[in-house]
Structure 1
Amino acid sequence: MLCVFNRSLLFVVMLFSGMAMAGHHEASEAEKNLVQVAANNDDFQTLVMAIKAADLVGTLEGKGPFTVLAPADDAFAKLPDGTLAALLEPENKEKLQAILTYHVLPGAISSEEVVKLKLPETVQGSTVAIETDDDGKVTINGANVILADVPASNGVIHVIDTVLLPPEPKE
């Protein structure tokens, strides 16, 4: 579900602005589900590939609503060499599912509301720490929110610049 950017931030903003102004023949982003919105954005190809590998397409295309903390491709590129390739292997499907569901909050939570939550629980079951600095900059577990409130028919996307890793399960 679901992680850098100066050049990429501009690209993402331009891309989403372009999607909003796209021809009237296409459905608006708010009429597309979360997976369709991500798939139609060139900067989320790694995320979409991971969602498919984790067999989470059906869930994220479902009724929801969900809030996806969506790492863009540049966020995945920041992972140590070989990490993404290993996560995409079938034998690591459960770990990939845990990472992706850690990027999903239940409900469609706007940026205005998400900053009030502080420690919301993710679909994965662990919490994320949301902080806002004096300048209004929002971080989630230290990842910068670079674009907020991208609408989808079954939720909302907040773009982040880092892949969030859930805490290791306690034995």
Structure 2
Amino acid sequence: MKRRTFFGLASAAGLSLAVSACAPMGGGQPDIVDIAASNEQFATLVAAVTAADLVDTLKGPGPFTVFAPTNAAFEKLPAGTVESLLMPENKDMLVSVLTYHVVPGAVTSDQLAGTRTSVATVQGQDVHIDGRHGVKVNNARVTQADIMASNGVIHRVDTVLLPK
């Protein structure tokens, strides 16, 4: 197993338990963090969101649209990138990268179909969305759209979005 994959999974395993402990009781629809924490393919993302202290934000009322990179998307980054971003001294950079994946409001794929647009992210910079042939966000392809959460929507992407 690649070292960075193991690091991300090992971190996420413990962090997923902590995040799951915050899950709402009562059987309501899960929020963005709950959904990500319950899906192994988002283990690295959950570890990063936790390291960036963004759990409470993404469990908030929103609504948010999250373009959620998978573990495989993080593995496409240059060697050592994930480990570097997870270091406490790089927290500001990690927050910038993660908030670049979040758009205010709940935007579903049917709202993007057939359009090309730029949208401001929570980070402050725009992402370019092309919904003419599937949905692409910058150079990332949406591989699963419209994962509905109580506080927004998740679109799984195959590439980590990096702010300029």
Match in the other structure for 2:99: 101
Match in the other structure for 2:81: 83
Match in the other structure for 1:128: 127
- The alignment of Structure 1 onto Structure 2 pairs a total of residues equal to 138
Match in the other structure for 2:152: 155
1:36 Cα deviation after fit:
0.3
Letter in 2 for 1:114: L
1:119 Cα deviation after fit:
0.1
Deviations 1:84-142 (A, max 9, x none): 00000000000000000000000011111134461000000000011134xx2211101
Q: Which has the higher contact order (CA 8 A, sep 6+)?
A: 1
Give me the CA root mean square deviation.
Answer: 1.4
Alignment of 1:4-23 (within 5 A): none
The percent of aligned pairs where both chains have the same amino acid is 52
Q: Distance in 2 between matches of 1:43 and 1:137?
A: 21
Report which of the two has the higher share of strand: 2
Pick from 32, 35, 41: which aligns with 1:34? 32
Is 1:73 matched with 2:71? yes
Indicate the SS of the match to 1:108.
Answer: coil
Letter in 2 for 1:75: A
Q: Distance in 2 between matches of 1:121 and 1:70?
A: 16
Return structure 1 stretches of 4+ with deviation > 4 angstroms: none
Where does the alignment leave 5 or more consecutive residues of structure 2 unmatched?
Answer: 1-25
After TM superposition, the score normalised by the length of structure 2 is 0.81
After TM superposition, the score normalised by the length of structure 1 is 0.77
Deviations 1:62-89 (A, max 9, x none): 0100000000110000000000000000
CA contact (8 A) 2:112 2:131 kept: no
Pick from 12, 31, 50: which aligns with 1:52? 50
Q: Distance in 2 between matches of 1:62 and 1:51?
A: 14
